[in-house]
Chain A
Amino acid sequence: MNNKVLLQLENNQVHQDLASIRNLMERSSKFLSLSGLSGVLAGVYALIGAYVAYGVIYPFRQASYVQRGEIDDLLIIEKLLLVAVLVLVASVTTGFVLSLRKARRTGQKFWGASSKALLFNMIVPLFAGGLLILIFIWREYFGIVAPAALIFYGLALVGAGNYTYKGVQYLGINEILLGLVAAAYPGYGLWLWAIGFGVLHIIYGSVMYFKFDR
């Protein structure tokens, strides 16, 4: 075998080695089965939730609203919490099922080191934020709910972005910005919440879907 042929062979080997290194560095540290479609659906659920919440807060028959006392206010909060929990459960379930399906389709493992790291990095800020919001609701600081939800969710996404597609981090930064705007303009909480959890999810979800899912 002359030198040229040997070199050619080695070169092929080198290229394969480099390709497998690059692939493993990415796959071992990132959860790449996150489904873009589930992001779109989560956005749709959030918009439906926001629509229902709007109806709860601003009932169509204003007359009865005037007569509401304190107990009814608590009833409103309970209804809003119920809507929020339903949206959350529906979104998480959809995300879980569709990501599991994507993992199966692409032959990747769903529950591994990367998905654990992703989950852990999201759970910490989400739990902290969720508890903080519940405490503020209990103390009747309702104005804090929308900005806190957006900001803590954004922080969770920025942290999670290290363990999945980078785009998730940009989504997180936008959620944080919206949260700050919501803090400055308390009257628009529900609108900004709808933009953050609804519209942004649909936009980012579609981008991810067209970029990675198909």
Chain B
Amino acid sequence: MSIPFDKLDKAFENRVRLQIMSILVVNERYDFNSLKDLLGVTDGNLASHLKGLEKEEYILVNKSFLGRKPNTNYEATEKGKQAFKAHLDALEALIKQQKIS
């Protein structure tokens, strides 16, 4: 029996990264604080996962200022969206296989 685990994206192994990506595929942009509120994670934790996704070139970072406060926005790249879709397809395949066996 072949298990398509290898098709799962290693970048999405962590739940928080997968969650960040699922927010960014349905929203054009999302800012750091809103992500933090929605996911209920700490600043440091979120920042490190965002860094990881940025390194994979799955997301883009836009830094700007709202008045004097720094405002950081994130958006998904085309590569990131495709990787997310491929990951979901792999998850789906896994479930189907489970049902058959």
Is the pair B27, A24 in contact by a Cβ cutoff of 8 Å?
Answer: no
Is the pair A29, B26 in contact by a Cβ cutoff of 8 Å?
Answer: yes
Q: A7-B3, A14-B95, A113-B27 are in contact. Are A21 and B34 (CB under 8 A)?
A: no
Q: A3-B1, A7-B3, A112-B37 are in contact. Are A21 and B98 (CB under 8 A)?
A: no
**Smallest Cβ distance from B22 to chain A, in angstroms?**
4
Is the pair A20, B31 in contact by a Cβ cutoff of 8 Å?
Answer: no
Q: Kindly supply a per-residue 1/0 record for chain B positions 16-35, scoring 1 wherever the CB is within 8 Å of any chain A CB and 0 otherwise.
A: 00110011011100110010
Number of B residues with CB within 8 Å of any CB on chain A:
23
Q: A7-B3, A112-B34 are in contact. Are A17 and B26 (CB under 8 A)?
A: no
Give Cα A17 to B26, complex, Å: 16
Within 8 A of A (CB), among B63-101: 88, 91, 94-95, 98, 101
Question: Total A-B pairs in contact (CB under 8 Å)?
Answer: 56
Give Cα A208 to B37, complex, Å: 26
Please give, as numbers and ranges, the residues of chain B lying within 8 Å of A24 by CB-CB distance: 19, 22-23, 38-39
Give Cα A3 to B25, complex, Å: 33
Please give, as numbers and ranges, the residues of chain A lying within 8 Å of B98 by CB-CB distance: 7, 11
**Smallest Cβ distance from B5 to chain A, in angstroms?**
7
Give Cα A84 to B61, complex, Å: 45
Q: A27-B38, A28-B38, A112-B38 are in contact. Are A14 and B26 (CB under 8 A)?
A: no
Q: Kindly supply a per-residue 1/0 record for chain A positions 111-128, scoring 1 wherever the CB is within 8 Å of any chain B CB and 0 otherwise.
A: 011000000000000000
Is the pair A14, B94 in contact by a Cβ cutoff of 8 Å?
Answer: yes
B10 at the interface (CB under 8 A from A): no
Is the pair B91, A25 in contact by a Cβ cutoff of 8 Å?
Answer: no
Is the pair A113, B34 in contact by a Cβ cutoff of 8 Å?
Answer: yes
Give Cα A3 to B101, complex, Å: 12
Give Cα A15 to B19, complex, Å: 14
Please give, as numbers and ranges, the residues of chain A lying within 8 Å of B27 by CB-CB distance: 28-29, 113
What are 30 A-B pairs at a CB distance below 8 A?
A7-B3, A7-B98, A7-B101, A10-B5, A11-B95, A11-B98, A16-B15, A17-B91, A20-B15, A20-B22, A21-B18, A21-B19, A21-B22, A24-B22, A24-B23, A24-B38, A25-B25, A25-B26, A28-B22, A28-B23, A28-B27, A28-B34, A28-B38, A29-B27, A109-B34, A112-B38, A113-B27, A113-B30, A113-B31, A113-B34
The residues of B with any CB-CB pair to A shorter than 8 Å are: 1, 3, 5, 15, 18-19, 22-23, 25-27, 30-31, 34, 37-39, 88, 91, 94-95, 98, 101
Question: A14-B94, A15-B95, A24-B39 given. 12 additional CB < 8 A pairs?
Answer: A11-B95, A16-B15, A27-B38, A28-B26, A28-B34, A29-B26, A29-B27, A109-B34, A109-B37, A109-B38, A112-B38, A113-B30
